[in-house]
Amino acid sequence: MESKVNYPAVGAFVVVLAAALVAITLWLASGGAYQQKFDLYRAISEESVGGLNLNAPVKYNGVEVGKVRQIQLAPGNPEQVNLLFAIVRGTPIKEDTVAVLKTQGLTGIAYVELSGGAHQSPLLRAAAGEDYPLIATKPSLASRLENVLTNVLAKLDGTSNSLNALLGPANQAAFSSLLADLASVAHTLAGRRDSIDTGLRDAAQAAGRLEPALERIGRAADAVDKMGQEVARTSIGAGRTIDAVGHDIQRFSTETLPELERLLGELSVLSTSLRRLTEQTERNPSSLLFGRRPVAPGPGEAPGAGPSP
């Protein structure tokens, strides 16, 4: 007997299985049980974001942490571009984190690179009245190179203009005249080469004769220096001698002068006595042998009375 197949049940089973597969596929595509949550941040770029597309990677020190969700010009200021990033929740976006536009390899595919974020720096929060936190930006390498090249080209252009002005017709004429004068001087020097050679030889000989004189002058300077040192030492010795003599003079004035004054006084008394003796001897030489005779009393004086004091 042939078994009967319930085709409606089989069709229903196939439909349910297909729906389940589609649901599982969509669930897995959306992240399933491990679906990640994102936080939105914005940034303002003041340079061209050419090559940056929606869903371009946002990397933090080379690790992909999000996607670019929106790219649009800033309202009222077309020189700025507003960027909106969807970054995995929990990524440490700090106040000192900066965003830089970079390109990957030679393909030119642009992405956003986040860097910075010191450990002690606080997490980035949205400012009052703002919907999303604002990540600071800095110029990309291409922008910096472009600025440098622009400055270099501007300086080259200025240098070129200066050279054009320097090499103008008037300066060219002056330069031609200078070259002609230099040529004339060179011809003149060439014509007087023999006399110049002679002068150089004479100068060399004079320098050779001057060297011994310089040596003698050097020896004389050394001798003068030595003599100065001897004079200095002699001055020091003389100073010491003067100090010693001054000390002796002071001692002489304090110890010897009083004795000398007393001796001079005694000599003065002795001289007076000798002068009196001499005068007496001259008046009466015999007094040296017989002594001085008493003076005879005068009229009215008692005998034996001496002269009144």
* Across 133-137, average pLDDT: 91
- Measured between alpha carbons, how far is 2 from 245 in angstroms, rounded to an integer? 161
Band (97; pLDDT cuts 50, 70, 90): very high
Measure the CA dihedral 113/118/123/128, to 10°.
-80
pLDDT surpassing 50 at residue 213: yes
pLDDT at site 309: 38
Share of the chain above pLDDT 90, in %: 12
SS3 sequence of 100-111: EEEEECCCCEEE
Q: What burial class does residue 103 get, using C-beta atoms within 10 Å of its C-beta: 0-12 exposed, 13-18 middle, 19+ buried?
A: middle
Report the Cα 231 to chain-centroid distance in Å: 46
Domain residue spans in the chain?
A: 36-139
What pLDDT score was predicted for residue 236?
75
Percent of the chain past pLDDT 70, that is, above it, reads: 74
Tokens representing 209 are 């004769």
| Of 84-88, 128-132, 200-204, minimum mean pLDDT range | 200-204
Q: Which amino acid is it at 144?
A: R
Q: Between these two residues, 251 and 217, which has the higher pLDDT value?
A: 217
* Residue 70 CB coordination number (10 Å): 12
Residue 1 predicted with pLDDT over 70: no
Residue 308 confidence class, pLDDT cut points 50, 70, 90: very low
Q: Provide the 3-class DSSP secondary structure of residue 126.
A: coil
